[in-house]
Structure 1
Amino acid sequence: MTQPFEQSAALAAISAIRHGFYGRRGGVSQGDFASNNMSYVQTDSVEATTANRRQVTAAMQFESDALCVLKQVHSATVRVVTGRQENPASHVGGSHPFEADAMVTNVPGLLLGILTADCTPILFADPEAGVIGATHAGWRGAAHGICEATVDAMVRLGADPARIIAAIGPTISGANYQVGPQFVADELKLYPNARNRVFVPEGDVEHFDLPGFVEDCLRDTGVLGIDRVGGCTYAHPDRYFSHRYATHHGTRTGRQIAVIGLT
């Protein structure tokens, strides 16, 4: 079965870049992880996850060992990737060599991959400089500055924020991200300017607009070319994995992947 993916029109127009925001459809995983789970950390089978990942690299026309992933820890740490990783499946149940929440590179032939299940995936490119990036932005990582750190790392490789295109992929929407007052206090302590992304629906507690906050963080870096791709992960459990939806319904969930690479 073909794995469907969504794309940013702006990134798709760059001939030297391939990218895609994948959802939960089209893979070989079973049960709660049906069918396109990309995470080895979950209790899906290693064989199924490996097969799903290999379908992605093939569809992007990269070699099967070109995919680079991270142990994502909700930090503001960015890794500059210069070569291929050892087999990620070898770290199942153990430590991953790279703890970070974003990657950047100017090396062709590498496919950067970010795993999410409600947090915001962001794919970046400066086509003139030949620099790309991929970021996992949960609320905590975004508040700690992961968006700004990614752009800074790209600039050190020769990128210019005015030329960077940033595509925000499928993520939980504010309408479905009920957080409450303690979350708001914690968020504003880290990032006081996030107050404009907090709202209270009638008869409800505080909600938070995560993709809107991520977009604000990106604009603060000088990035102007920002795309939004895909829908709300919580609202569309048939299309996307959602950790919050699974928690509310007493099930388990996998992780989808967003990828970008230089040819």
Structure 2
Amino acid sequence: MEPFIIKNESLLTIDGWMNSNPGLVAGITTKLGGQSKGSFEALNLGFHVGDIFNDVCANRMKVSELLDFPLATWVSAEQTHDIFLQKITKADRGRGSISYEQSFKSTDGFYTSEEGILLTLCFADCVPLFFIAPEYRMIGAAHAGWKGTVGQIGREMIKRWQEEGIKAEKVFVAIGPSICEKCYIVDERVVNLVENILEDVDRKPYNLISEGQYSLNLRELNKQTLVKAGVPKENIIVTNYCSSCNNHLFFSHRKSHGKAGRMLSFIGWKEN
């Protein structure tokens, strides 16, 4: 069953989580329903891709209204395909929400246990990871391209939470819309790096399709590293949406040869 449910033309939400956790908002945007033009049409939420600044601001304001989560409560990042995570408090609210220059530098993930904060990250094929430990009111989000995946950013999040006293078996993870293995072809260099982090797995997350070319399942690789980190398999839900196959719904960096807007993942607790 697909965990990401279409709410309207602009939003997909993790309904199972939201129904079980009153006050939680979690999901990802589509590329529909905004005012950006050209290759950014229409709901581009990324400031860093060359779109008109005012259009991106208008798109962010629309999402803010749809979620009923003010822009002043958002935090955003300058994502660098690394594994650095930032713990967020209310003092950080607003950073990067209306200015890329003010976003958290060199950051690919956020986590918080405080209400009234919306954690946001940008995507166009990379894997959005969503984390929640309901008993502890802890939530998190991470951006996992192939570099972040090989760097095991998911495991890094679990490690950080363990330092906060949260056991891995208490953590639930959602793996969101991203490029599928049929659409994601990599070379032997990347597969060698993948091999370095795989031990005793029944199913390799890649397949040789021609000499030196492999299809790579980034979602499965993230799932395997999370399980190795101690998250029970049954606590992990995975989307069926591919950002490239479903290019009518999502931005795809590969499908558009690098000329694409960005979707926005979001997770936050509303204030009581």
TM > 0.5 between the two? yes
Greater strand proportion: 2
Q: SS at the partner of 2:47? A: coil
Correspondence for 2:69: 62
Structure 1 residues 257 and 86: alpha-carbon distance in aligned structure 2, compared to 1, 3 A threshold: closer
Amino acid at match of 1:85: G
Q: 2:249 aligns with which of 239, 242, 255?
A: 239
Aligned to 1:210: 218
Instruction: Name the count of aligned residue pairs.
Output: 256
Distance 1:91 1:173 in 2: 29
Residues 223-258 of structure 1: CA deviation (Å, up to 9, x unaligned):
2211123511111111111111111xxx61011011
Aligned pairs (5 A) from 1:104-183: 104-183=111-190
137-146 or 200-209: which moved more? 200-209
Amino acid at match of 1:119: C
- The residue type equivalent to 2:121 in the other structure is I
TM-score normalised to structure 2 length: 0.86
1:203 Cα offset (Å):
8.7
Closer/same/farther in 2, CA of residues 132 and 53 from structure 1, 3 Å limit: same
Asked if the contact 1:165–1:223 (Cα under 8 Å) also holds between the matched residues in 2, the reply is: yes
State how far apart, in whole Å, the 2-side matches of 1:27 and 1:58 are: 13
TM-score, normalising length: structure 1: 0.89
Matched, 1:5 2:15: no
SS at match of 1:246: coil
* Equivalent pair of 1:26/1:36 in contact (CA under 8 Å): yes
Equivalent position SS for 2:51: coil
Equivalent residue of 2:244, what SS? coil
Distance 1:99 1:125 in 2: 23
Which residue identity is paired with 1:234? S
Contact 2:71 2:98 in 1 (8 A): no
Indicate the percent of aligned positions where both proteins have the same amino acid: 25
* AA in 1 matched with 2:73: A
Aligned pairs for 1:39-118 (under 5 A) are 39-83=46-90, 84-92=93-101, 96-118=103-125
Contact 2:113 2:137 in 1 (8 A): yes
TM-aligned CA deviation for residue 160 of structure 1: 2.9
Aligned equivalents of 2:31, 2:139: Cα separation in 1? 24
Whether the 8 Å contact between 2:76 and 2:96 is mirrored in structure 1 is no
Q: In 1, Cα distance between the equivalents of 2:135 and 2:192?
A: 41
Partner residue, 2:4: none
Deviations 1:153-190 (A, max 9, x none): 2333343322222111100000111113232124334x
Secondary structure in 2 matching 1:79:
strand
Secondary structure at the aligned position of 2:162 is classed as helix
Deviation at residue 90 of structure 1 after TM alignment: 3.5
Distance 1:4 1:22 in 2: 5
Q: Which amino acid aligns with 1:11?
A: W
Shift of 1:21: 1.4
**1:59-113 Cα shifts (integer Å, max 9, x gaps):** 2221221111111111111100112134544445xx8443211100011000001
CA contact (8 A) 1:46 1:89 kept: no
**How far is the alpha carbon of 1:215 from its aligned partner?**
0.8
Q: Is the 8 A contact 1:123 1:260 kept in 2?
A: yes
In structure 1, the residue corresponding to 2:254 is in which secondary structure?
helix
1:50 is paired with a residue of what secondary structure?
Answer: helix
CA RMSD in angstroms, aligned pairs only: 2.1
Please give the secondary structure, in 2, of the residue aligned with 1:107: coil
- 1:55 partner amino acid: K
Which consecutive unaligned segments of at least 5 residues does structure 2 have?
Answer: 1-7
* Worse-matched range after superposition: 6-15 or 66-75: 6-15
